[in-house]
Structure 1
């Protein structure tokens, strides 16, 4: 039958073969030769491959990931796979994409620090997040990212000076929303509403006040519902399959091919709400400046600072949404995980209460919060075991090298070619027994404290709850201060806690990670003395 093909088809096939051979030869002599020289000069050795039945496309890995995400054990799957391989760095192929998976601190120091300019966020992440977040600090690289960073940094430095008064009115709303008769309450839901109220107060100058007694604002409710939907839809893990969910970031690339008209409509709702606030702030800018000149002190509002720096309304909206994501979701996830553990561990609760009782009922200020060592240890331990961004990645923009992971002993350098992604799991690295001891999987705040002759844990690149290098979280101190203040105030008001959830902690991953079962507890208020 092949002899009956037209002569023109033979010529086309021959031309294709010639072009393919020419390209391969050119690649071998140019890019290939350059890569071979780099590999030889750095002493790079091959990585051990991830154990897939399908070594070419990794279809079995995709299916296993789908099941693991659906069963809320995706983080454990990564840990189990690396434990089975017996290495800290491995090579993984999924469809046409290749990844270097690592939990080596030296490699993360390289990617996030010393070789920072060799890596980017990657095209996939940008395409997924930009429709909602726009061009902001979490969706850009290079000069655009640097501009966002420089624009935001002074504002966050101002929030770090310790003005905790803005938290108090929202904490009072939180306290009022908690039953005082010992009935069950899911603190996770309240923490997400609380952190949204605080974040919008800080960013917009107008809080959503979703925890305020008698809250009933249809426009705010529509914004909040749309905002939550967009966050869940960004990776599909928060939606049911009927709503278009496809179970997590492992399948996130499918979002680029699956239309979601509701997502587009909900993004418009969010944008319209924020745009109105931006336009109002710009309209009132001159009047506000005139008023500020008459006052010795002024209330800090993030939106007002941005409006003073740029006229670009879209840029302002994008930066607000980027920081709102960080301010709302990461802090709420951290608080939920902290209080889940506190409810399960009476010995930790009792020791923390002793530290807080030393305040004698006074509202904590920034300086006193800074000096509460056991509280800091509790927060550190929660962020170690339950990092709110448990996995992350970067894409190589040039041919480059990681310092360790290659060879039989895993100590040789590793070649990373341009376009390849480096993926890491903080969840797994933070549980390495060679870094944290045989009790690495136990919740043990004492490991962070200097007690007697025992020196507390000192960490570097093996502990990265807030990222590291030039892109380290600029809101880190604000988030820790907020979580500290909330924890102290709730424990001052409710000195007794009981868990109402018999299940162990299980992961719920969207853009952040928190507990699947929420934080179901009963809180008992302090007895008021009679006049």
Structure 2
């Protein structure tokens, strides 16, 4: 073959390949274009059929919502993240539903009770947790808080019996841990100290005893003459730090994978190895030995349902997050407010003393699940704390198909809102539970007495979520918090605020909410 013919053949081949490439590229482009055109037409028809109108659009999100994403991370760092949407609500004329973009993903934000009812209950199957599993899985695996569908149903069915009334009624298990907490309070000799830090240690101790069968005793330390195991101290710190990482991943939404620092994986490994120790111990017991175990242990009951070590580990860590963090946060915010309102503290003491005694007349056996529930003012104090400081102040769901929310669209906000498949719907119990139209002009004040005359709130009060995913452990948390409040009131009748935080206080968001600067108070045994 001549040199000329070879060059000609090569050029013809290149030309052919170019044409083929252009043809395939064109087909792909046409296919994608057709897909979006058809999708657009389909959604126009859907909107018209359901009478949907657009809600107001958040005007300050920037291109593709990149600025909004930056703002969320910034306010999370400064402790203002939860008050940021409350400021927006007031700034833009008390609009309860609006749409925005976050890193290119459309987000509908709502605090309409009617929408929350649809989101969490009546249209439950139209929504899922979206990317939450991917956000949380490195630490929490496949547990009740990370799964959807059948996996979630199986987890809930397995865990529900463990929160039966008989199990949460054993409040006396808390007493030995409270005696250790008392030592920490006494060592301060009436000076200001951070009780939130102690509450987080207390609840990890009570939670691990309930879940694992033995406490990690994180309240033990040299300052009170008790030795804490180094492994326990490492676990508690790693657990805290790993949750901080999960919070960052959550607010990055679809870009969560960009946040994977080596410290996150190191802390996750420490937590997993610690949990494995207890799981392996439980799995080493025979069925006969399990039946002979004294008292009630969450893990040992789960082993009767499954012997899969990964399932056991994941469920334990999921429940540990709930059992420790939510109760510690509730107690911390409760004493934060009680210390700043001496008149409320006095009323609470009066009720507790009349029901359970004080000084030398305390009868511990009288403090039970049933008697705690009869203390109305204590119940009001807890309700009011959860109203102003819900454990999960902001949450979201993702549409699994094209669907709607009942209200929020149009100029009057009464038309349905279109929610396309893949759209995130965010909602904030923190903002909702501070709305004047449900709680009055003094909605941002701590006022337990309001609960005496509040009518049925329905979906305007969601401290434990609602619908099929309503919190399984709400009575467990309320019972533990009630017992701790009663006993601390009996032991330390003198409570004074040592708080110097800004108003509103800065709040730390992990998977749940706590006080960023700590809760500084004075407590004394003398009246």
Normalised by the length of structure 1, the TM-score is 0.89
Q: Does 1:263 align with 2:277?
A: no
Q: Give 1:175's aligned residue.
A: 182
- Conservation of the 8 A alpha-carbon contact between 2:127 and 2:397: yes
Which has more helix, going by share of residues?
Answer: 2
Q: How many residues align?
A: 499
Alignment of 1:367-406 (within 5 A): 367-406=370-409
Q: Distance in 2 between matches of 1:43 and 1:412?
A: 7
- Contact 2:409–2:416 under 8 Å retained in 1: yes
Q: CA deviation at 1:17?
A: 4.8
Q: 1: CA distance between counterparts of 2:166 and 2:210?
A: 9
Q: Which moved more, 1:379-388 or 1:204-213?
A: 204-213
2:5 matched residue in structure 1: none
Q: 1:434 to 1:17 in 2, by over 3 A?
A: farther
Q: Distance in 2 between matches of 1:283 and 1:424?
A: 44
Matched ranges for 1:151-170 at <5 A? 151-158=158-165, 162-170=169-177
Counterpart position of 2:70: 63
Residue 253 of structure 1: how far off its partner (Å): 5.0
Bigger CA radius of gyration: 2
Q: In structure 2, how many angstroms separate the alpha carbons of the residues matched to 1:283 and 1:160?
A: 24
Aligned-residue offset at 1:83: 2.4
Aligned to 2:6: none
Residues in 2 aligned to 1:217 and 1:382: alpha-carbon distance in whole angstroms: 34
Name 1:353's counterpart in structure 2: 349
Q: Do the aligned residues in 2 keep the contact of 1:195 with 1:331 (CA within 8 Å)? A: yes
Question: How do residues 275-286 of structure 1 correspond to structure 2 at under 5 angstroms?
Answer: 275-286=276-287
Decide which of 34, 58, 75 is 1:50's aligned counterpart: 58
Q: Check if 1:498 corresponds to 2:501.
A: no
Give, in angstroms, the shift of residue 106 of structure 1.
0.7
CA distance in 2, matches of 1:161, 1:198: 12
- Supply the distance in 2 between the matched residues of 1:290 and 1:398 (Cα, whole angstroms): 47
Once the two structures are TM-superposed, the CA of residue 484 in structure 1 deviates from its matched residue by 0.4
For residues 164 and 191 of structure 1, the distance between their equivalents in structure 2, rounded to whole angstroms, comes to 16
Matched, 1:525 2:525: yes
The equivalent position to 1:196 in structure 2, one of 204, 228, 236, is 204
User: CA offsets, 1:368-406, max 9 Å, x none?
Assistant: 100111111111111111111100000000111100000
- Paired with 1:59 and 1:271, the residues of 2 have a C-alpha distance of 34
Q: Does 1:410 align with 2:413?
A: yes
Q: Closer, same or farther in 2 for the Cα pair 1:310/1:101, shift >3 Å?
A: same
Q: Which residue of 2 aligns with 1:147?
A: 154
**1:308 to 1:43, Cα distance in 2 relative to 1, 3 A:** same
TM-score normalised by structure 2 residue count: 0.90
The alpha-carbon deviation at position 308 of structure 1 amounts to: 0.8
Cα deviations across residues 465-522 of structure 1 (Å, max 9, x unaligned)? 1010000000000000000000010000001111111324221212211112211111
Partner of 2:471: 473
* Residues 299-325 of structure 1, C-alpha deviations (whole Å, 9 max, x = no match): 110010111110111000000000000
Structure 2: segments with no counterpart, 5+ residues: 1-14
CA offsets, 1:347-377, max 9 Å, x none?
1101101101112222222221001111111
Specify whether residues 269 and 388 from structure 1 end up closer, same or farther in structure 2 by C-alpha distance, changes over 3 A only. Answer: same
Structure 2 counterpart SS, 1:318? helix
Query: Residue 264 of structure 1: CA displacement?
Result: 1.6
Output aligned runs, 1:113-262, within 5 Å. 113-123=121-131, 125-158=132-165, 162-179=169-186, 181-212=189-220, 214-236=226-248, 249-251=250-252, 254-262=255-263
SS at match of 1:79: helix
Q: Secondary structure at the match of 1:403?
A: strand
CA distance in 1, matches of 2:49, 2:16: 49
* Unaligned residue ranges in structure 1 (runs of 5+): 1-5, 237-247, 293-297, 450-454
1:426 to 429, 438, 442: 429
1:28 corresponding residue in structure 2: 37
